[in-house]
Amino acid sequence: MSILIENAAILPMTGENSLIQKGYLIINNDIIEHIGAGAAPPGSYRRVIDGSGQAVLPGLINTHTHAAMTLLRGYADDLPLMEWLSTKIWPLEAKLNGEDIYWGTMLAIAEMIKSGTTTFNDMYFFMDQAARAVEESGMRALLSRGMIGVSPESQIALDDSRKLVEQWHGAARGRIRFALGPHAPYTCPPEYLQKVAALADELEVGIHIHIAETRQEVEDIVKQYGMSPVRLMLANGVFKHPTLAAHCVHLNEDDIAILKDYQVGVAHNPESNMKLASGIAPVPAMLKAGIAVGLGTDGASSNNNLDMIQEMRSCALLHKVNSMDPTVLPAYQALEMATALGAKALGWDDEIGMLKPGYKADLILIDLNAAHMIPHYDIVANIVYSAQAADVDTVIIDGQIVMENRRVTQFDEQEVLAKCQALARDLIAR
């Protein structure tokens, strides 16, 4: 089963000068077989896609979200983080069931595919249902069951996580991976973090955790334990395992050095951090230190969408104005955060995040012919500063076409939209 994409501008994301102005890409089953400039070699292809007027690039990677929170989109806006969580989000989440999570995740997947995301990193609950949605939709995901160490169900969360890893890690032809998901330092005390680290060692999986999201969190952790949240993770064995640290807004120089030394991946969530007024993460400093910083949207209830194209633009503009330096975080680097660096942050950079022979065929085609994309002086700049989600025309994941001409092919999008609207009405009434 082979697919040829020809006559396209190709952005492999293997370096700033890697753009092929007009070339081709050949997919064999789930793998990229060849990329080149000019015309493709003669061959027998199952599908030929004319990429004239389009850019081909790696699928975008959302390094931190809570997918099923699409059901809570717009429910509780314009509140500080802890008030938002404790008075609005957590009480409503307590009403959610497995069916809600399945459909909420399907809604998130539909939104992500239609805006060019091919992989997402998720932390939530009823994660067997999230995995089911990923498997059925053709999406790629790293999933973790959220774990609250101070909850009466803290041991159940550990037991559930073990079962999920045993059942789902490597499922769907490798499209599904599982990690452990201790929520945050303020909900997971040291003795619980040690249990999580021990389980990660036993199961040989990574860890996904929120760290240093707000100034108040950092102050509370320092007051309680005499060290920063980052150093607390180090002291309790978390960073002995591949770790994705979400947010990392309030860091000092020592924290950044630790993240670099232990190769911790970071998920930067600029729009969520802005909306909740959590602060501005020191992303330029982390990137300069060599930390793999990817981009994430966070959940749709604090963003309020899962549009990674918009997130790229917000990221670049936020750090320019924050530093008062227009050269900080140029367009290529923002796109790299959404692709190659995102894959590295997730520990998946051996298969995804770039277009190169032997890598998984996870890629998107973006229409360059809309009025807001003309002229084509700099295609990378156009994608980061001008593109919209609606410019994503075709999405391929694991060699399968999951959207073509903006039509989702693996499931009934309209059924998902209608079901989630009905579930939202029911959720409020419970």
Q: What is the CATH number of the domain that holds 360?
A: 2.30.40.10
Query: Same domain, yes or no, for 318 and 233?
Result: yes
Pick from 292, 324, 345: which residue ends a domain? 345
The Cα–Cα gap between 249 and 345 comes to: 16
Q: What rounded mean pLDDT belongs to the chain?
A: 97
What pLDDT sits at residue 234?
A: 98
Query: Same domain, yes or no, for 26 and 64?
Result: no
Residue count of the chain = 430
Could you give the count of Cα atoms lying within 13 Å of 30 in the half-sphere of its Cβ?
12
422 inside domain: no
How large is the average pLDDT for residues 214-221? 97
pLDDT digits (tens, 9 = 90+) for 241-258: 999 999 999 999 999 999
What pLDDT sits at residue 1?
A: 64
How large is the average pLDDT for residues 150-168? 97
The Cα–Cα gap between 126 and 145 comes to: 7
Query: Same domain, yes or no, for 142 and 18?
Result: no
What pLDDT sits at residue 81?
A: 81
Assess whether the previous peptide bond of 405 is cis (omega < 30° from 0).
no
The Cα–Cα gap between 389 and 366 comes to: 9
429 inside domain: no
pLDDT digits (tens, 9 = 90+) for 77-91: 898 888 988 999 989
Is residue 167 helix, strand or coil?
helix
Query: Same domain, yes or no, for 159 and 22?
Result: no
Say which CATH number the domain at 255 has: 3.20.20.140
The Cα–Cα gap between 254 and 113 comes to: 38
Is residue 32 helix, strand or coil?
strand
The Cα–Cα gap between 199 and 296 comes to: 26
158 inside domain: yes
Residue written as token pair 């959720």: 427
Query: Does residue 23 contact residue 353 with C-beta atoms inside 8 Å?
Result: no
R_g (Cα) of the chain, nearest Å:
21
**Residue 279 above 90 pLDDT?**
yes
Range of the domain at 379: 2-58+355-408
424 inside domain: no
Assess whether the previous peptide bond of 270 is cis (omega < 30° from 0).
no
Positive or negative, the CA dihedral 315, 319, 320, 322 is positive
Query: Same domain, yes or no, for 205 and 230?
Result: yes
Alpha helices in 180-307 (DSSP H): 190-203, 215-225, 229-235, 253-261, 270-275, 283-289
Query: Same domain, yes or no, for 164 and 35?
Result: no
Domain count, the chain: 2
Whole-model pTM: value is: 0.97
How large is the average pLDDT for residues 226-254? 98
Residue written as token pair 């370096």: 15
Q: What are phi and psi of 355, to 5 degrees?
A: -105, 105
